[in-house]
Structure 1
Amino acid sequence: MSAKCFSCGIAARLADNNLECIKYKFVISNAIAAGKADCYYFIEPQFEDDEPLTPQQNLMLKECELASRSMRGPV
């Protein structure tokens, strides 16, 4: 379980103790995690006031970060 998906901030824990990527809507397995080693949406779990943010909040942070990157460039 050293693949990035298992430690990603947008991986939500399901009722059957599996993880689901909330961006791409798939259950994370070892085979899938190996193929997603360079995922564009990987984010370390973020904390606010020593409380972990929800996967949805982490996804919003990452999407804002990616959107701000696309606005950079020559003028």
Structure 2
Amino acid sequence: MEILCSRCGIAEIQRDGKRWCLKYQLDVSDGAKEAKADCYYFIEPQFEDGEPMTVRENLMFKECELASRKMRGPV
């Protein structure tokens, strides 16, 4: 299975070219041992007005999305 972390919206590109997961604070570059095959926080990079959102904005967007799912259910 392809590692999704390397193309996740919350994976920040470091100066040395490696990708760093902002949520779990670990290296998620292609071939990294810690990278996950399927992650609860995976998000495609988001765009707003044609501009890519920052890694922190993507993380905040995903956390809000996950929080809103918890609020759904029978009343």
Q: TM-score, normalised by structure 1?
A: 0.89
Provide structure 2 residue ranges, at least 5 long, that are not aligned to the other structure. Answer: none
* Equivalence for 2:45: 45
- Equivalent residues, number: 72
Query: How many Å apart are 1:38 and its aligned residue?
Result: 1.7
Long gaps (5+) in structure 1: none
1:1-75 mapped onto 2 (5 Å cutoff)? 2-29=2-29, 30=31, 31-33=33-35, 36-75=36-75
**Greater share of helix residues, 1 or 2?**
1
Over the matched positions of the two proteins, sequence identity in percent amounts to: 61
**Alignment deviations for residues 25-66 of structure 1 (CA, whole Å, 9 cap, x no partner):** 111142222xx1120000000011211101100000000000
Q: 2:24 is aligned with what amino acid? A: Y
TM-score, with structure 2 as normaliser: 0.89
Matches of 2:38 and 2:12, distance apart in 1: 19
